[in-house]
Amino acid sequence: MKYMLMMHARMGKGDWEIFNWPAQDIKAHIDFMQRLNKELRDAGELVGGEGLTGPGQARLVRAGNDGRPLTDGVFPETKEFLAGYWIIEVDRPERAYEVAGKASTAPGPGGKPLNMDIEVREVMSCSPVEV
């Protein structure tokens, strides 16, 4: 079974909070993520994943009535934003929650765990069981 883990990070002033951290804390955070990725890769569980650029560059695109795209800019009222995601393949949901739990503890300012929200969603598959 495959799961998508979506990391919801707190927004800062128009962008990621992390941009305002001291250099050493940023480094500790990045190191943590790289270690986690390596662990998942080495276990043969990592199917894919990416980090995303800051919300300051995010655009919402929606077609208008004439079919032409309308875009929307920064979203100041949003407190959390998708910062990145992983897709992992595991043999039971508990393992996905375990990975998410670990990702949630990524260090923030002063090395304190961020306890971020990690949304865990099972990816739909094409293998039906008998009906």
Interface ranges with other proteins (CB under 8 A): 1-2, 41-48, 89-91, 122-131
Which has the closest alpha carbon to 77: 60, 52, 100?
60
* DSSP assignment letter at 90: -
42 or 77: whose CB is closer to other proteins? Answer: 42
For other proteins, the closer of residues 76 and 93 by Cβ is 93
| CA-based nearest residue to 86, from 71, 61, 106, 56 | 106
CB of 126 to other proteins, least distance (A): 4
If you search the block for the tokens 């909070």, which residue do you land on? 17
- Stated as kind and residue range, the H or E segment containing 84 is strand 80-89
CB of 119 to other proteins, least distance (A): 16
| Closer to other proteins by Cβ: residue 50 or 91 | 91
- Identity of the residue, 66 or 91, whose beta carbon is nearer to other proteins in the bound complex: 91
Tell the smallest beta-carbon distance from residue 4 to other proteins (Å). 12
What's the min distance (Å) between Cβ of 90 and other proteins? 8
Torsion angle (degrees, nearest 10) of CA 114, 57, 86, 96: 40
Copy the structure tokens of residue 85.
């995601």
